[in-house]
Amino acid sequence: MNKAILVFQTDFTYKEGAVSSMYGVVKSVDRDLEIFDSTHEIPNYDIYSASFRLFQPLKFWPKGTVFVSVVDPGVGTFRKASIAYTENGYYIVTPDNGTLTHVDKIYGIKKIVEIDTNKHRLTGFGTETISVFHGRDIFAYCGAKLASGQVKFEEFGQEYDVKDIVRFDIIEPEIKGNLIIGTAEIIDPNFGNLWTNIPISNLSDVLEKKVLVKIYDENHKVVFEEYIKVHKTFGDVLKGEITIYQNEYGNIAIAINQGSFIKKYQVPYGANIKIEILK
């Protein structure tokens, strides 16, 4: 049988050997397994960002790919260690702590099992009593066992209802006349852009025109308010000019051309950060 590809994301960074340890576990299970990184730069403990970053590349990988996502501030506690199988044919090995929110919302989760960690855990390395590195001892290990075909999905533990998956509440895009409401859901950290969950098609009638943008924090306080011009591409924007553009997923995003919108305005992002656009 063909072995599945493994794709990892964590908040571990490369500052020490955590990522290397997980890869070592994978290769100890099966030296022929392919391992790729999605990112190890998720902000510390930021489960919401983990949820978005998990959805972001998913559909571009071959069906059957096994994603291992470890952003786990509740490590060692009651939260479930799980393996999900999505409606579009991917496996996700992760703590069930909110990380599955975007994937479930956008693609759907067909089945999920809780890993029986008494049976499926790294052994032989003296780590059996350690509770603070499940990324290595449970998630990387079980991901490798699944990807190599040594253990089948349904053999890892008891299946439970997908309705019981832990999820974030996300503000759905809404249109009220000329007012569009959505979420300032994530940032592009390298370029400092802010991405929303609002389709750019809602602004197709105001291309090359300005719209009023307001961003509210979790306490419903306005933290940004400005008129911004809608552009088709960065080539139409002067250096240092603020712009609304279409991001790589077809949604509205805000940027400063060759600058950082996030750094300049210090705006928040996340499930409860509301953005309003008035045409």
Model confidence over 235-266: pLDDT tens digits?
889 999 999 999 999 999 999 999 999 999 99
* Tens digit of each residue's pLDDT (9 = 90 or more) over 89-98: 999 999 999 9
Judging by beta carbons within 10 Å of its beta carbon (0-12, 13-18, 19+), is residue 190 exposed, middle or buried? exposed
Q: Does residue 4 surpass a pLDDT of 90?
A: yes
Q: Does residue 215 surpass a pLDDT of 80?
A: yes
* Tens digit of each residue's pLDDT (9 = 90 or more) over 115-125: 999 999 998 88
Please give the helix or strand (H or E) that residue 91 lies within, else none. Answer: strand 91-96
**By C-alpha distance, which of 37, 38, 46, 35 is closest to 11?**
46
* Tens digit of each residue's pLDDT (9 = 90 or more) over 18-37: 999 999 999 999 999 999 99
Question: What pLDDT is recorded for position 271?
Answer: 86
**By C-alpha distance, which of 22, 53, 279, 1 is closest to 136?**
22
What is the signed CA dihedral for 90, 94, 96, 98, rounded to 10 degrees?
-80
Question: What pLDDT is recorded for position 48?
Answer: 95
Question: What pLDDT is recorded for position 46?
Answer: 95
Identify the band that residue 39 occupies on the pLDDT scale cut at 50, 70 and 90.
very high
Question: What pLDDT is recorded for position 200?
Answer: 96
Q: Does residue 1 surpass a pLDDT of 70?
A: no
Any residues with CB less than 8 A from the CB of 180 and at least 6 apart, and which? 173, 174, 198, 202, 203, 276, 277, 278, 279
Number of Cβ within 10 Å of residue 69's Cβ equals 28
Q: Which amino acid is at 187?
A: I
State percent of the chain over pLDDT 90.
87
pTM for the model: 0.91
- Evaluate whether 143 touches 93 at the Cβ level (below 8 Å): yes
* Tens digit of each residue's pLDDT (9 = 90 or more) over 147-161: 999 999 999 999 999
Q: Which domains are assigned to the chain?
A: 6-164 (3.40.50.10790), 174-278 (2.40.30.90)
Q: Does residue 195 surpass a pLDDT of 90?
A: yes
